[in-house]
């Protein structure tokens, strides 16, 4: 392997670690803030389920490897894409905003590819539309409405029931729902880095063009995202756990269960969606079902602005990084 491929793999590992660090809140914030789990137990649970989920399939990884660009990229272009994605993740982590690591990576890869080839034709825009843009908007909406309907149904079923007893039940059920979210986070998010490492190995001629994800890459990414998860992003957890709505055990359970169902469905279709967006939308849906004013819309608007900005901002960073990396390697 060339030094550039080795650097690409190292930066991919850094990205995967930050991904786990950045997105820990997706799986455990609601359970921590409703006191279904202590912080330590929640992090251990999320890390373990992330690791298991990352080893399950390759559908999302294949989308990254073959579904976004139509040219064989130079090795340094993939390195530049990883640098761009890492910069955006660090910025949003610093600001405490739950952004999408997935779309940061995809946006940076698209931006780096366009700058490298000096052509927009090198991007498979049909694949970007079907696998990225449409799920970008539909998955949060589906999460919102399913959580809204489930919460409405649950409130009707529990009408007149003494509040403390259902809360105790849902505190236990949240352990299961948090496990499902962490598992689905692994099946979707960890595979994006598997795909980018596989793409780097293909670009360097280490693997054939139609190669699947090597088991060593799967294991590396699974272990790295679990390690990142074990540390956690506390500022984002604060936003997710209490910055969108005031969570109760029932709304936490509904939000987590809905998120896991949506993420697993999209992973089956090979769509690299944002687990951050899905669970945030589900939390909003569960909160709106209680009353519209329970949602902190100022926080929501800040999150949505970041969602919209992520693809173009990371594409710009990916493109700029191409020039930066070229200066050193070409």
Is 205's pLDDT higher than 80? yes
> Where is pLDDT greater, at 232 or 274?
274
Reply yes or no on whether the pLDDT at 27 is more than 90: no
Residue 149: predicted pLDDT:
95
Average pLDDT value over all residues in the chain: 83
The confidence score (pLDDT) of residue 245 equals 55
| Confidence class for position 223, pLDDT limits 50, 70, 90 | very high
**Using one digit for the tens of pLDDT, what is the confidence trace for 88-125?**
988 887 776 667 777 888 899 999 999 999 989 899 99
Quote the CA–CA distance of 177 and 182 in Å, as a whole number: 9
Measured at the CA of 129, the angle between CA 124 and CA 134, to 5 degrees, comes to 160
pLDDT tens sequence across 294-319: 666 666 676 677 778 888 999 999 99
Does the pLDDT value for residue 45 go beyond 60? yes
Q: E strands within 232-293?
A: none
Residue with tokens 């849906």, as numbered in its chain: 285
Task: Please give the share of the chain, as a percent, with pLDDT higher than 70.
Answer: 86
Q: What is the pLDDT of residue 52?
A: 92
Residue 145 pLDDT? 94
pLDDT in tens, 128-177: 888 888 888 888 889 999 999 999 998 888 776 655 666 788 888 988 99
Structure token digits, residue 290: 């209680």
Residues 6+ apart with CB under 8 A from 210: 66
Q: What are phi and psi of 161, to 5 degrees?
A: -85, 140
Whole-prediction pTM: 0.83
pLDDT exceeds 80 at position 203: yes
Structure tokens at 41: 């137990």
Taking the C-alpha atoms of residue 299 and residue 320, their distance in angstroms, rounded to an integer, is 30
Q: Report, as an integer, the average pLDDT of 190-194.
A: 87
Output phi, psi for 119, to 5 deg: -155, 135
SS3 123: strand
pLDDT digits (tens, 9 = 90+) for 62-88: 888 888 888 888 889 999 999 999 999
Per the DSSP assignment, residues forming a β-bridge with 245 are: 295
User: pLDDT value at position 252?
Assistant: 85
């Amino acid at each position: 392997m060339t030094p550039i491929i080795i650097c690409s793999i190292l930066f991919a590992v850094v990205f995967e670690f930050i991904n786990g660090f950045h997105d820990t809140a997706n799986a455990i914030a609601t359970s921590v803030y409703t006191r279904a789990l202590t912080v330590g137990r929640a992090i251990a649970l999320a890390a373990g389920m992330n690791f298991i989920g990352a080893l399950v399939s390759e559908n999302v990884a294949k989308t990254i490897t073959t579904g976004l660009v139509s040219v064989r990229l130079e090795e340094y272009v993939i390195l530049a894409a990883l640098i761009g994605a890492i910069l955006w993740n660090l910025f949003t982590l610093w600001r405490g905003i739950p952004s999408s690591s997935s779309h940061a990576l995809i946006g940076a890869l698209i931006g780096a590819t366009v700058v490298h080839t000096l052509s927009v034709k090198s991007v498979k825009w049909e694949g970007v539309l079907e696998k990225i843009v449409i799920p970008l908007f539909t998955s949060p909406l589906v999460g919102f409405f399913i959580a809204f309907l489930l919460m409405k149904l649950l409130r009707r079923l529990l009408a007149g029931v003494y509040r403390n007893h259902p809360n105790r039940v849902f505190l236990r059920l949240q352990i299961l729902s948090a496990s499902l979210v962490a598992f689905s986070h692994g099946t979707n998010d960890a595979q994006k880095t598997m795909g980018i490492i596989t793409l780097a190995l293909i670009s360097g001629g280490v693997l054939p063009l139609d190669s699947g994800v090597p088991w060593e890459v799967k294991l590396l990414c699974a272990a790295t995202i679990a390690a990142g998860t074990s540390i956690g992003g506390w500022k984002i957890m604060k936003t997710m756990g209490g910055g969108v709505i005031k969570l109760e055990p029932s709304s936490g359970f509904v939000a987590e269960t809905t998120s896991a169902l949506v993420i697993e469905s999209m992973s089956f279709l090979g769509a690299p969606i944002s687990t951050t967006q899905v669970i945030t939308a589900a939390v909003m849906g569960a909160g709106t079902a209680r009353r519209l004013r329970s949602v902190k819309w100022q926080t929501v608007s800040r999150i949505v602005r970041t969602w919209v900005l992520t693809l173009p901002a990371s594409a710009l960073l990916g493109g700029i990084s191409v020039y930066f990396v070229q200066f050193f390697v070409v």
